[in-house]
Structure 1
Amino acid sequence: MLPIYREMNRCAENGIRGVLGTIIRTEGSTYQKEGTKCFWAEDGKLTGLLSGGCVEGDLAEHAREVLDHSSCKTLAYDFRDKGDDLWGLGLGCNGSIDILLEPFDPVKLRENTERTLELYESALNHETILRTIIEAETPSLKGKKWVVAPNMDHVKSGLDTVAYENEKVLVFTEKITPSPRLTLFGAGPDAVPLVNGAKQLNWHITIIDHRPSFVNTQNFPQADQLLCVPKGKWQDPEIGNHSFVVTMTHHFDQDLLLLEHILETDAAYIGVLGPNKRTYELMDRLGKKFHEDRLSRLYSPIGLDIGAKTPEEIALSILAEMVMVHRGKGSGQSLQVMKKTSFTKYLQTKVGELAF
């Protein structure tokens, strides 16, 4: 969401029109899922992908029509069976997607533009349930957005019909989660590839160290926040439930101090660099102060087992583990293991057909 917001903000500041595309329905196997967005700016820049780059060219043509009429438009792409032949793309994805295109015009639709930016800016910092009207008898209602109360856990994502201003409208409900925030304690050279990789994922990055010669913009030009905190002191960098924390201080007593405070936060992930033995010693020093649910967020040694050796490879393994925790999916197991089972069944079926 962050790259989309930044691009929309750039266009708003420069008076550039654009079109926001959102997947509102999927069926079967698709490259992206519901809620995925892209933004096409009139100066030709495309931010985000709704497919593997296959339908974006066609979307650009429809985007011009949306801008010309200043109205929303819904597109349907069906790549199942012969439906794919209609588009001449030969994708073989065996799925279909519906996409909502919304005009973004900082001049002609200024009020709508400001409202959209306001809603998405809020979603960058707080989990947001957002509704957008897709179809309505009153044309002016199409594209209207509003936030659903965050405590309404029964609200489901996807398409649904609801009552709005005395008429039934079709809405798309999406849950927007803020981008993860990486808080890194330790600004040594081994932190550089981790920061670079996290920035490629569009994460917000805070780096904390006691050495001014290390924690600076020269070493970490991509960091969003750099804090120089004296050794042995704690400064709360606003760690919340979307925060991923890694300690790379290489200093036992400093890590002990940090962990005592970090475990009190709602961080989704707490990674401690170093072998198990060192982490067990840290836990022994902390004693039985923390309940099991607090310690369950502790990852040490950090990273997935990919045989990493270099700082860049180690950073990759750490990022892979954090993404897995962030998405709440995956086992960290090779997809090849899963593929072998299905591929074996496929071969058995083919052998059976040939025997017949």
Structure 2
Amino acid sequence: MPFYRIYMKEIKQITEAYQKIDFSQTRAALATVVRVEGSSYRRTGARMLVLESGEWIGGISGGCLEGDALKKARLAMSQNKATLITYDTTEDDPYQIGVGLGCNGIIDVLITPLDPQNPNNAVRLLQNCIDQRTPNLVVTVTNLSKKQANISLGDVFRFDNETHFNQTFPLNEIRDNILIEVQDALKNTKSVSKEYILEDGAKLILFLEVIPPAIQLLVFGSNYDVYPMVRAAKELGWRVICICNPIKMHPTLFELADEVVPKDFIPSIDTFTAAISMCHDYESDYRNLQMLLKTTISYIGLLGPKKRTNKMYVRMNEEGILLTDEQEKRIYSPVGLDIGAATPEEIALSVCAEIRATFSGRDGNRLKLRQRPIYEN
């Protein structure tokens, strides 16, 4: 499974804050990490909404760049002009911003003033990505060596489909090449920067950013340990559907989860969906397993010991249901990473960590034992 870098929670926080801004009283800008070379605390796609007052939402680093980015953002707002800032933490110069972090990387941050009258400003386009259950792709102009009549630094275009992109992207001369790169990025679920040379010799760099949807977690169960599971998943910014007996559930669950639905609910499964059955009832868990195995869901977690799941395997075999290798690989039981979890809260941590590792294509081992870079793209 490819690595999914999902910043949907941050995007939601930024769009919600944007909607509350009184642009008659203040201005705002969006800072976006568009290129990282080497090591960095945040990666491409990390964002920070900056208000003229000095408040910000989100982040572009571990805290070392935000202060300087705020100053640069205020300048960009006053000039109403996008700007690209490069932070080089590989230098030994003590006056270089961010050098104390010791990240040993180069970070390009695009700062774009936000025009509330522009329906295609960066935040408004991101807002359209939030409720989608398929990967979105946003094309951002991050470098332009010569002034152009119909495109500027900081311009953003959302790829909905080829027809829409052809109508909105203004440069006919490179559109076909961009469409090829866009399809590759979506296929690989990997953001990339691409350089193009225009007919007048100008250099144009575009950041083709793939924005996957938030992980969707299906939680089957009506017992008290459902609540910390839902809370943990929501803290991560996931979409959570609790499949239970709604009559038995405390009202707080309806506030926590995105949906609370009855046991006969047939969930919609997509590439970014995981499920955990924690009914504490053998027959219920067995039915859920049977139902989920008939879908394409990539993660099926079963609470309980391995011998309980093995009993289900034997029963399926006796009923003439042959479990394929592919199906067995999708079943995670005992569910969660081996962290010694004992309480419902710790179990929720263990399970959510395993789900994230699975969607990242990682083994969940200690980073100190990893021989390769933490981030490979």
Per the normalisation by structure 2, the TM-score is 0.79
Q: Which residue type is aligned with residue 19 of structure 2? A: A
Output the CA distance in 2 between the equivalents of 1:285 and 1:164: 65
Q: Which residue type is aligned with residue 293 of structure 2? A: L
Kept in 1, the 8 Å contact 2:93–2:99? The answer is: no
- Worse-superposed segment, 63-72 or 14-23: 14-23
Structure 2 unmatched ranges of 5 or more: 1-7, 163-179, 373-377
The equivalent of 1:93 in structure 2 is 103
Kept in 1, the 8 Å contact 2:11–2:126? The answer is: no
CA spacing shift, 1:13–1:49, aligned 2, 3 Å: closer
Q: Is 1:240 matched up with 2:276?
A: no
CA spacing shift, 1:191–1:165, aligned 2, 3 Å: farther
Alignment of 1:41-80 (within 5 A): 41-42=51-52, 44-80=54-90
Per-residue CA deviations over 1:315-356 (Å, capped at 9, x if unaligned) read 11111111111222x3222234458x9xxxxxxxxxxxxxxx
1:253 pairs, out of 283, 306, 313, with 283
1:133 pairs, out of 117, 120, 141, with 141
The equivalent of 1:348 in structure 2 is none
Kept in 2, the 8 Å contact 1:192–1:220? The answer is: no
2:337 pairs, out of 282, 304, 308, with 304
Q: Return the offset for 1:57.
A: 0.9
Q: Return the offset for 1:124.
A: 4.4
Per-residue CA deviations over 1:230-273 (Å, capped at 9, x if unaligned) read xxxx3222221111111011111111211122122232311000
Output the CA distance in 2 between the equivalents of 1:139 and 1:194: 52
Output the CA distance in 1 between the equivalents of 2:143 and 2:337: 45
Alignment of 1:35-46 (within 5 A): 35-42=45-52, 44-46=54-56
Tell which has more relative contact order, 1 or 2 (C-alpha 8 A, sep 6+): 2
Output the CA distance in 2 between the equivalents of 1:84 and 1:244: 46
SS for the counterpart of 2:269 is coil
Aligned residues: 332
CA spacing shift, 1:163–1:144, aligned 2, 3 Å: farther
Q: Return the offset for 1:295.
A: 2.6
Q: Is 1:322 matched up with 2:329?
A: no
CA spacing shift, 1:221–1:248, aligned 2, 3 Å: same
Kept in 2, the 8 Å contact 1:123–1:176? The answer is: no
SS for the counterpart of 1:65 is helix
2:305 pairs, out of 275, 288, 291, with 275
- Worse-superposed segment, 279-288 or 89-98: 279-288
Per-residue CA deviations over 1:188-243 (Å, capped at 9, x if unaligned) read 111221111111111111111125122x43245321111133xxxx3222221111
Kept in 1, the 8 Å contact 2:84–2:143? The answer is: no
Superposition RMSD on alpha carbons, in Å?
2.8
Kept in 2, the 8 Å contact 1:9–1:117? The answer is: no
Q: Return the offset for 1:302.
A: 0.5
Output the CA distance in 1 between the equivalents of 2:275 and 2:293: 10
Q: Return the offset for 1:303.
A: 0.6
The equivalent of 1:18 in structure 2 is 28
Output the CA distance in 2 between the equivalents of 1:77 and 1:14: 29
Q: Which residue type is aligned with residue 334 of structure 1? A: R
- Worse-superposed segment, 153-162 or 183-192: 153-162
SS for the counterpart of 2:342 is coil
Q: Is 1:145 matched up with 2:156?
A: yes
SS for the counterpart of 2:315 is helix
Per-residue CA deviations over 1:133-186 (Å, capped at 9, x if unaligned) read 123322652222234459954346332123789876221111111110111001
SS for the counterpart of 2:129 is helix
The equivalent of 1:351 in structure 2 is none
Output the CA distance in 2 between the equivalents of 1:295 and 1:116: 42
Output the CA distance in 1 between the equivalents of 2:96 and 2:125: 39
- Worse-superposed segment, 60-69 or 270-279: 60-69
Q: Is 1:154 matched up with 2:189?
A: no
Kept in 1, the 8 Å contact 2:10–2:47? The answer is: no
Output the CA distance in 1 between the equivalents of 2:241 and 2:55: 29
Per the normalisation by structure 1, the TM-score is 0.83
Output the CA distance in 1 between the equivalents of 2:260 and 2:52: 35
Output the CA distance in 2 between the equivalents of 1:173 and 1:280: 45
Kept in 2, the 8 Å contact 1:11–1:41? The answer is: no
